[in-house]
């Protein structure tokens, strides 16, 4: 619904205004948001594997932006 529309518009504006090779990896990191919300809202447990994967995704995004 509304959030899907907002996400699509944000992605479209990002691609128009910035380098798509940076915007698209950031946009594809939506799994981090899902894991974070599950941890905060649903009190899901964060395993070491979750933390390592999240850090790897963030390191990849930072590496792409350099």
2-30: pLDDT as tens digits = 887 888 888 888 888 877 777 877 787 87
For residue 33, pLDDT over 80 is answered with: yes
What is the distance between the alpha carbons of residues 54 and 4, in angstroms, rounded to a whole number?
23
Q: What pLDDT is stored for residue 43 in this prediction?
A: 93
Q: Is 17 left (phi over 0), alpha (psi -120 to 50) or beta?
A: alpha
Question: Model's pTM, two decimal places?
Answer: 0.64
Burial (Cβ within 10 Å: 0-12, 13-18, ≥19) of residue 65: exposed
pLDDT greater at residue 62 or residue 52: 52
């Amino acid at each position: 619904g509304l959030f899907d529309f907002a996400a699509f518009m944000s992605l479209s504006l990002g691609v128009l205004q910035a380098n798509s090779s940076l915007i698209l990896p950031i946009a594809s990191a939506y799994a981090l948001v899902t894991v974070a919300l599950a941890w905060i809202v649903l009190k899901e447990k964060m395993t070491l594997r979750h933390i390592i994967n999240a850090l790897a995704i963030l390191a990849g995004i930072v590496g792409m932006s350099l």
